[in-house]
Each structure stands twice: as structure tokens, then as C-alpha cells.
Amino acid sequence: QVQLVESGGGLVQPGDSLTLRCEGSGFTLDYYAAGWFRQATGKEREGVACFSKRDGTIVYAGSVKGRFTISKDHAKTTVYLQMNNLRPDDTGVYYCAAAPFYSGAYTLGPEEYDYWGQGTQVTVSS
């Protein structure tokens, strides 16, 4: 079955960088969309970045555009999130999610994704 395991979270200071890693199994990134989401305490889960279509189209949330970069390694079925210039409002639990590609495009709506990891905590604080 499809499984996702996130790692790489931690406590960092504002302005620092962090790279999250999502290791998948039971599927291939050739046929599955994947994305990163986050949830701050008391807030709804929100999309951060995703591979929207099979052609490699990427979608970023406006709040992270220019600071975060999503990438993937098909051979390792691993999706990364490079986060630079972190801010306190980036704090939250970060989740990786996946769903099969179809003829349309995925967005950053969490409800569109079928499979989820357990999450990794990112805390940005001075």
C-alpha cells in the first residue's frame, strides 16, 4: 500500500533554512502527484507546494513563493521541500501527501489528496 514518511523537521531561528524529506513506498512518482502541506496550532491545514500535473507543473502557496522549493527524486520515490529564510509564521506540522495523477491538475487543496504521512514538526523561533 501507499506509505509516506516525513523527516527533517526541527527547531530553527528566523532566517534559517531547513530541508524536509518525504520518503514514499507502494507507488511511483511517475504516476502520482505529491505535495507538502502544513498545519499550525488552531488553524486549518493548508497547501504549501505540490507537483500539480504529470508534466512537472509546480504550484506554490503565495506565502512561500521565492523561499521554498519542492523537488523530487523519482528513483528514490522521495519528495523534498527546501525551506529558506524561515519565518515564525512558517511554524507548524508539515505533511506530505500523494494522489494518482489524472487528466486534470491538482491544486493545494488538502481534500484532493488520498494518502498522507504522519507529519514532521517545524518550529521557527528566536
Q: Which of 85, 117, 62, 101 is nearest to 13 (CA)?
A: 85
pLDDT of residue 17: 98
Q: How far apart are CA 15 and CA 71, in angstroms?
A: 21
User: Is the CB of residue 79 less than 8 Å from the CB of residue 85?
Assistant: no
pLDDT tens, 35-69? 999 999 999 999 999 999 999 999 999 999 999 99
pLDDT tens, 61-110? 999 999 999 999 989 999 999 999 999 999 999 999 999 999 899 999 99
**Across 25-40, average pLDDT:** 96
pLDDT of residue 122: 98
